[in-house]
Amino acid sequence: MSNSPEAMIHDFTDASTVSTWEAIDDRIMGGSSQSQPECIDNVGLRFSGTVSLENNGGFASIRSSSDNADLGQYTGLTLRLRGDGKCYKLSLRTDHFFDGVSYQTTFGTEKDSWQEISLPFEAFIPTHHGIKLSTVAPMDLTSIKSFGLFISDRQEGSFQLDIAWIKGY
């Protein structure tokens, strides 16, 4: 990464970037929500699927398989996205454990409209299975191991979020 004021972290218009992302839905705990990441020409990463509240479910997510990003020189991330009017979460992990701490922040989308949304790192909250934690160390921005996108909070039904890129600012 350069020392410029803004730098590309993930360019989702490159299909090889999207291919490193995988779905992790509430089916891992008996739910029936489904999602998938896919690369859409001239768009980028499409995170879409259906959230179901059946069997105590209610979330769908995708996550990058492995990053080793040093975001220490930035104060936040900017996402270029097109949403469906629902709220989503961006998560960052500083370890490779599926069951570890996730630092998350929520953002809203405008239906069918491209937006650039800036998310300051100070807005990311440490969580474990969606529960806020108060006794963990601050996020180590120099050692980001994975990025993730979530839809939860009882937003039942179909969803679609397109992301062209993520940049550090």
pLDDT > 90? residue 130: no
The predicted model scores a pTM of: 0.92
Instruction: Report pLDDT digits (tens) over 50-61.
Output: 999 999 899 999
Instruction: Report pLDDT digits (tens) over 37-77.
Output: 999 999 999 999 999 999 989 999 999 987 889 999 999 99
Using alpha carbons, list the distances in angstroms from residue 58 to 26, 47, 50: 7, 16, 9
Instruction: Report pLDDT digits (tens) over 75-105.
Output: 999 999 999 999 999 999 998 776 789 999 9
| 70 Cβ contact list (under 8 Å, min separation 6) | 1, 141, 142, 143, 144
Round to the nearest angstrom and report the end-to-end CA distance of the chain: 12
